Amino acid sequence: MSVKIGRKVPDVALHLTGDRQARLSDYRGRPLVLYFYPKASTPGCTREGLDFSAAIHKFRRQSCRILGASRDSLKAQENFKAKQGFPFDLVSDPDEVLCQAFDVIKMKNMYGKQVRGIERSTFLIDAEGVLRREWRKVKVKGHVEEVLEAVKALKKA
């Protein structure tokens, strides 16, 4: 059930901050940036979220919405969003349904040990629900600008 560029993404159920339920299909009609991060309130994940926050008006000018997702509990996501003031929702995916659909769970080295975790990844889904771009093994610095350029290019296409 893994996603592929040029194909519709699966219509996965989402548990959003604000304790709201949604589906990926609810986001059709406008482009969507869905980014996955390893763990709420850690330095790299905070920086990435703040970078998306700082650029939110540029994404909104492109009619693009943003969702951040991790395996964290809803409470952890709520705290992360509130503390950082993110102007977009976060998805709590402790059962890894969304993570599995986008194939972001990988074996990673952490302090010399192999652990299962989220590989920092971003996906650009068009207004029809088709995956147009993906970034895997994301490095945070400069990433948001690259995603924004892809959103602008998508709008022109």
- Active-site residues: which are they? 45
Q: What angle do the packed helices 43-54 and 74-84 form, to 10 degrees?
A: 60
**Burial (CB count within 10 angstroms: exposed 0-12, middle 13-18, buried 19+), residue 121:** buried
Identity at 123, one-letter amino acid code = F
Helix-, strand-, coil-residue percentages of the chain, each rounded to 5: 35, 30, 35
Q: Which of 141, 69, 137, 135 is nearest to 106 (CA)?
A: 137
Report the amino acid identity of residue 101. A
